[in-house]
Amino acid sequence: MNEVLNSVATPAAAPPDPLEKPVLTDNTGPAAPLLPPQSAVGTSENATARAAMVARLEESGVLGRGPVREALLALPREILLPHAYVRVSGPGADPIDWRLLDGSHPDDRQEWLELIHSDESILLQRDGEPLDALPRGPVTGGHMTSMSTYTPATVEALQAMELGSGQRYLELGPGPGVSLALAAAITGPGLATGVERDGPMAAFAQRNLDRLGIGAEVIKGDALEGHEARAPYDRIHSGIGVPCVPAPWVEQLAPGGRLLTTLATRTPSWPGQLLVTRTTAGTVEAVLRGRPRGYRPLLGYRWLNALDYRARIKDDPGTARSTRLAPPPDAAYGFWLAAAYLAPGLVRDFQAETMTIVAPEDDSWAVAGPGDGTVRGHGPRDVWAELEDLHARWEQAGRPERYRVDLRDSSGVQHVTSGAGPQALSWTLPLLARRPGGDA
């Protein structure tokens, strides 16, 4: 599972949202028997690290009581994450310098153990490389093609799906299988399936899952097709971002089921999380919300990048003018999500001192503030004027934080709206383009 946190280690959107917490309730009942005794036995050092991780997640408000917590405490994640890359190079370096930590090596063990129990994404694979005998130590070049989503996002997703014992679960893009293993520990053996496009990663994850003995299976295939052979599923979770919902995912969702995915746009800055439910009567409903983070898009999906403009903007931020719009807060997720679609082609530099938004394909940018009622702009596209206009429309629409997605159009077009009436914000999701090879 690849989380958008650049995924899938540094947040590509805003920092973790302090205002938006999952519902922390015991709404799924007890978990299934978690792990066979022989698999759950680990060193006291590992168990202590797991307990500290769980305590930290609880203290932050991300994790509540229930089966996800019990699975986190019981699952020896070191089996699934036996190594980890650490990036040595700074932003923008090419080629990139890495260092591989081998969890079995005494010189790496403490750093590795802390890393795999941290709130960071765990980098595991460069450019689809085989994973059987990676050499520890420094290595140069390559880009990460698979990693484990950082734990708070995994916890939020599993809790949002209200995963429980006896449910059939499908994971799309499971990567090394951490979330798949947690799901299997909750559902019980034989009910959790993953579809992974990368052959070496699928084999690596299956081998490690088999060591845990929890009855989860990883199948090599195109995640966009789901896995019809075991459908329908009570819960479907996508670890890859998609521009719209693939029809097979909805078709494979059981009555009463839940499907959770990231909707990917061309910007990593303002991701959306889509929750699809099928009622017991068979009706499909879908709600889209802006989020501070999401998952990386499917293979071949090209993001816009503000990094190349950082030095130019610092040297010449642009011409100053007054503005009626103070920089909207990061937590105005409903506004920023709308901006991803209704002011397309923009990407934010979250490392800038003041709010900086770039339109790379138009060689334009806007630098707001700091807090003096002015904005500086450069280029043929008036980026800030577009945001001023959109913000006014968003306020007229009632400052929506949730948007309804209509999946019923027989042509496959998926429509988004904030509500009824002429002032509602609305747009259409891009169609899902097939890529060479057909793999997600």
Q: Catalytic residue positions? A: 148
Is the preceding omega at residue 370 within 30 degrees of 0, hence cis?
yes
Length, in residues, of the chain: 440
Which residues touch 242 (CB under 8 Å, ≥6 apart)?
Answer: 224, 261, 262, 263, 264, 297, 298, 432, 440
Number of C-alpha atoms within 13 angstroms, CB side, residue 131? Answer: 29
Alpha-carbon dihedral angle through residues 218, 220, 225, 227, given to the nearest 10 degrees: -40
Checking 365-373 for CB contacts under 8 A at 24+ apart, the result is 365/309, 365/313, 365/317, 365/318, 366/318, 367/313, 367/317, 367/318, 368/323, 368/326, 368/327, 369/326, 369/327, 371/326, 373/322, 373/323, 373/326
User: Which tokens belong to 377?
Assistant: 């702009």
- Measured distance CA(425)–CA(141) in Å, rounded: 44
Which residues touch 85 (CB under 8 Å, ≥6 apart)?
Answer: 98, 99, 100, 101, 123, 124, 126, 144
Q: Which residues pair with 194 in a beta bridge?
A: 171, 218
Q: Are 164 and 187 in contact (CB under 8 A)?
A: yes
Which residues touch 420 (CB under 8 Å, ≥6 apart)?
Answer: none
